[in-house]
């Protein structure tokens, strides 16, 4: 109005100036007529400028019928508050729930045509699907007026084309998503009761629900209550089976044809139902439903008002693009969640919970937590002190028991055990000190090593003590005399005791009397040497026949040559040249017999082990010469494949000869059942890295499967008259020489016994 008045004043000023500039010869009445015309124009223009915008609102169901009422209310408020010009709102209720037949629309069409015959509305806005269907059928009422269809579901847009000069603000109604919300809050749901009425719009939604819910039919049973009167619906939802839910779509007309107020009907059903109730529209929130992804009618109204303002401002409908409206964050009623025991952890992310009832915990949570925290802290401190006291008593008792057990164990051991600090004073020792040094363990505590063990033994131990105090573990053995005069052999271990920084604060000492053990070792070694010697004698006894034959040949040759020399000497003229040759043969055969006897005596010689550097090839050559006659008697062909320039080994010649003798004789025995032409023995030697190896191969029976290791054990034999000691003694000799022995079967038959000895290091 202020704008119109200012414009009118400006026009009057312009007219006054125009009249002043008129020619003097104009008729006198013309200025008056001119002023009257200007005043008439300005009055008509001002009246037109102050005329409000006429907006026709078509309501589908009637005033205050949810959820359309919430949509219309937010639309009206937003449009009136934001419009720069007056808005004249004409709301017409079509009552489409009651009067849904086409012939029943005629009175409403007549009223609208007559009411707006002279001045058509500037904008027509429909709310709800039935009003949209009405304006689509009767668009000819206001053909030039733009129309806005607000809050129509997307499902309704599939039924026909949108008229020209008409804008639609669609609403996304996700029926399947609502079932997902029910299953999210109530995962065990198997039955859903669907509440709808019998009006045409509700029949439309009944079909849409059947189509959307078909995807859940394999796990949920859907029951539709549209044919029941409302009182029967109320009784029905009060007696639902477990794991049920109620989905409220809309109830305008029940199964008996009685119109219902949807909001009031929903409130009654929520109070009566024995199962949770869910609905689609935000307008129903707060009446007892649980919630979910609800259609925001108020937000749709605000958005529709914004589009309406653009249309009233003169924007063509074709130039405006609208967006489909959908639910935002899931909305839940805290009272319903508490009533049905639905935990918030089941609800989707980003949900909003309203109407949460403030409990004592909610109001005074931090006070309660603070008080409980103080009580817990105080109780914890008291419990901690009591527990610490108990643990300390238990630890002290355990320590005493542990010390008692340690004392009992260490006193029972025939070993000298002690802990000596860095000042060489005893902090612990066992009862063995009484027997060794005549000192009571308790009286030894705090005394020095020199005071306890004596000057002589202390001086012997001092170098080892200095080493362990420097942080080095020490092992040593020596013979000594105790203060009582008894001489013993001692083996001792000193272990340093270090603190966290690595400094030595003392050491643990353990000493053992090994006099008897050393004596037993020496006796065992002596008996083993006796066994080796007996084995050599036994082996030599087996060779007596062959050795007799070996010696008999040179003796027979000596006898023949001696007789021949006598004949030559008895001749009138002795042939001295021939006699000289005969004497040379006698000397040669005598040396041959002497060599056989020398080798036999060397093998039978009983002497201590003498380690020396020797050639393993010469050992096998000597044994081969000794076994020559036996090989001839057994019809065995012995071949030597000895690597030249073989490194020396460190060992005892006699014992290594016994190893070679046992291995070759075993090869002879293994081929006793073979044809004569196949009795062959191959002796090889070679070098491999830092070891010298030798192998004896035969063509006999081989070693039975699984006996490759057992064959070296004592008293195990495959010979009918064997004692099972030969290979056991052979292995003990090889092990004593820091070597190893093993057997493998040959691919073509027979077996190969191999030994490996470390090569001797070259001395200075």
Q: What is the pLDDT of residue 242?
A: 95
Q: How far apart are CA 428 and CA 417, in angstroms?
A: 8
Do 53-171 and 175-294+327-354 come out as alike in CATH topology? yes
The CATH homologous superfamily for domain 175-294+327-354 is Response regulator (3.40.50.2300)
Residue 400 β-bridge partners: none
Nearest to 65 by CA among 263, 302, 287: 263
- Other CB atoms within 10 Å distance of the CB of residue 215: 11
Question: Is the pLDDT assigned to residue 238 strictly greater than 80?
Answer: yes
pLDDT digits (tens, 9 = 90+) for 246-281: 999 999 999 999 999 999 999 999 999 999 999 989
Average pLDDT of the chain, as a whole number: 81
Alpha-carbon distances, residue 335 vs 183, 284, 285, 340, 758 (angstroms): 19, 14, 11, 9, 92
Q: Which CATH class is domain 413-513?
A: alpha beta
485: left (phi over 0), alpha (psi -120 to 50) or beta: left
Place of tokens 């629900």: 209
Residue 281 β-bridge partners: 295
The CATH homologous superfamily for domain 53-171 is Response regulator (3.40.50.2300)
Confidence band for 15, pLDDT divided at 50, 70 and 90: very low
Q: What is the pLDDT of residue 321?
A: 94
Residue ranges of the domains in the chain? Answer: 2-49, 53-171, 175-294+327-354, 413-513, 515-608, 611-764
Question: Is the pLDDT assigned to residue 545 strictly greater than 50?
Answer: no
Q: What is the pLDDT of residue 208?
A: 93
How many residues in the chain?
764
Confidence band for 38, pLDDT divided at 50, 70 and 90: very low
First to last CA, the chain: 130
Q: What is the pLDDT of residue 511?
A: 83
Question: Is the pLDDT assigned to residue 61 strictly greater than 80?
Answer: yes
pLDDT digits (tens, 9 = 90+) for 396-416: 887 777 777 776 777 777 787
The reported pTM is: 0.46
- Other CB atoms within 10 Å distance of the CB of residue 576: 10
What one-character DSSP code corresponds to residue 501? T
CATH of domain 611-764: 3.30.565.10
Inter-residue contact 304 to 268 (CB < 8 Å): no
Q: What is the pLDDT of residue 725?
A: 63
Question: Is the pLDDT assigned to residue 2 strictly greater than 50?
Answer: no
Alpha-carbon distances, residue 307 vs 122, 312, 699 (angstroms): 14, 9, 111
Q: What is the pLDDT of residue 30?
A: 43
Which residues contact residue 641 at a Cβ distance below 8 angstroms, ignoring those fewer than 6 apart?
A: 682, 683, 684, 685
The CATH number fitting domain 515-608, selected from 1.10.287, 3.10.450, 3.30.1370, 3.30.450: 1.10.287
């Amino acid at each position: 109005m202020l704008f119109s008045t200012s414009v009118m004043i400006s026009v009057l000023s312009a007219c006054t100036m125009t009249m002043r500039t008129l020619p003097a010869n104009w008729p006198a009445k013309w200025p008056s007529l001119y002023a009257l015309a200007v005043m008439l124009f300005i009055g008509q223009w001002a009246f037109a400028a102050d005329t409000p915008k006429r907006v026709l609102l078509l309501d589908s169901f009637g005033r205050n019928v949810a959820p359309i009422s919430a949509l219309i209310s937010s639309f009206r408020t937003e449009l009136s508050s934001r419009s720069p010009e007056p808005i004249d709102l004409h709301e017409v209720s079509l009552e489409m729930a009651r009067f849904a037949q086409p012939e029943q629309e005629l009175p409403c069409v007549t009223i609208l045509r007559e009411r707006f015959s002279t001045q058509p509305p500037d904008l027509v806005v429909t709310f709800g699907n039935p009003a949209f269907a009405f304006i689509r059928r009767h668009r000819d009422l206001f053909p030039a007026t733009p129309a806005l269809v607000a809050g129509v579901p997307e499902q309704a847009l599939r039924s026909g084309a949108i008229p020209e000069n008409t804008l639609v603000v669609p609403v996304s109604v996700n029926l399947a998503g609502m079932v997902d919300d029910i299953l999210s809050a109530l995962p065990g749901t198997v039955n859903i009761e669907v509440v709808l009425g019998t009006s045409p719009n509700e029949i439309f939604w009944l079909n849409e629900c059947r189509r959307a819910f078909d995807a859940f039919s394999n796990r949920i049973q859907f029951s539709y209550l549209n044919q029941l009167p409302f009182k029967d619906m109320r009784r029905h939802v009060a007696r639902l089976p477990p794991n049920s839910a109620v989905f409220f779509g809309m109830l305008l007309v029940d199964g008996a044809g009685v119109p219902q107020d949807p909001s009031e009907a929903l409130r009654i059903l929520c109070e009566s139902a024995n199962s949770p109730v869910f609905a689609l529209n935000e307008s129903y929130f707060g009446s007892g439903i649980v919630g979910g992804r609800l259609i925001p009618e108020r937000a749709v109204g605000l958005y529709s008002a914004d589009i309406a303002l653009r249309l009233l401002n003169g924007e063509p409908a074709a130039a405006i693009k609208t967006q489909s409206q959908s639910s935002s964050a899931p909305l839940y009623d805290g009272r319903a969640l508490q009533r049905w025991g639905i935990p918030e952890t089941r609800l989707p992310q980003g949900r909003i919970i309203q109407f949460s009832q403030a409990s004592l915990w909610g109001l005074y949570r931090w006070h309660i937590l603070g008080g409980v925290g103080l009580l817990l802290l105080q109780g914890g401190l008291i419990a901690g002190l009591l527990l610490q006291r108990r643990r300390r008593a238990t630890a002290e008792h355990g320590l005493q028991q542990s010390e008692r057990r340690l004392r009992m164990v260490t006193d029972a051991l025939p070993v000298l055990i002690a802990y000596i600090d860095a000042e060489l004073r005893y902090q612990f020792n066992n009862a063995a000190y009484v027997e060794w040094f005549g000192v009571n363990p308790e009286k030894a505590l705090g005394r020095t090593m020199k005071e306890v063990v004596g000057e002589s033994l202390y001086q012997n131990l001092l170098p080892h003590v200095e080493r362990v105090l420097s942080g080095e573990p020490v092992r040593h053995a020596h013979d000594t005399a105790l203060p009582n005069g008894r001489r013993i052999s001692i083996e001792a271990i000193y272990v340093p005791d270090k603190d966290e920084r690595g400094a030595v604060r003392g050491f643990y000492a353990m000493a053992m009397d090994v006099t008897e053990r050393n004596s037993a070792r020496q006796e065992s070694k002596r008996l083993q040497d006796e066994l080796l010697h007996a084995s050599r004698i036994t082996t030599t006894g087996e060779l007596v026949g062959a050795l007799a034959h070996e010696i008999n040949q040179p003796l027979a040759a000596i006898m023949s040559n001696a007789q021949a020399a006598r004949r030559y000497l008895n001749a009138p003229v002795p042939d001295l040249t021939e006699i000289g040759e005969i004497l040379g043969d006698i000397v040669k055969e005598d040396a041959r017999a002497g060599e056989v006897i020398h080798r036999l005596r060397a093998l039978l010689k009983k002497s201590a082990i003498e380690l020396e550097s020797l050639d393993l090839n010469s050992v096998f050559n000597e044994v081969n010469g000794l076994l020559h006659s036996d090989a001839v008697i057994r019809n065995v062909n012995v071949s030597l494949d000895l690597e030249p320039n073989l490194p020396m080994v460190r060992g005892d010649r006699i014992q290594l000869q016994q190893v070679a003798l046992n291995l070759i004789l075993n090869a002879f025995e293994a081929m006793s059942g073979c044809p004569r032409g196949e009795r062959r023995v191959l002796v090889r030697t070679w070098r491999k890295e830092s070891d010298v190896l030798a192998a004896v191969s035969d063509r006999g029976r081989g070693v039975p499967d699984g006996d490759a290791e057992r064959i070296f054990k004592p008293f195990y034999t495959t010979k009918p008259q064997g004692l099972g000691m030969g290979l056991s003694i052979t292995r003990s000799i090889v092990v004593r020489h820091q070597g190893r022995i093993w057997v493998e079967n040959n691919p073509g038959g027979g077996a190969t016994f191999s030994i490996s000895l470390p090569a001797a290091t070259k001395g200075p």
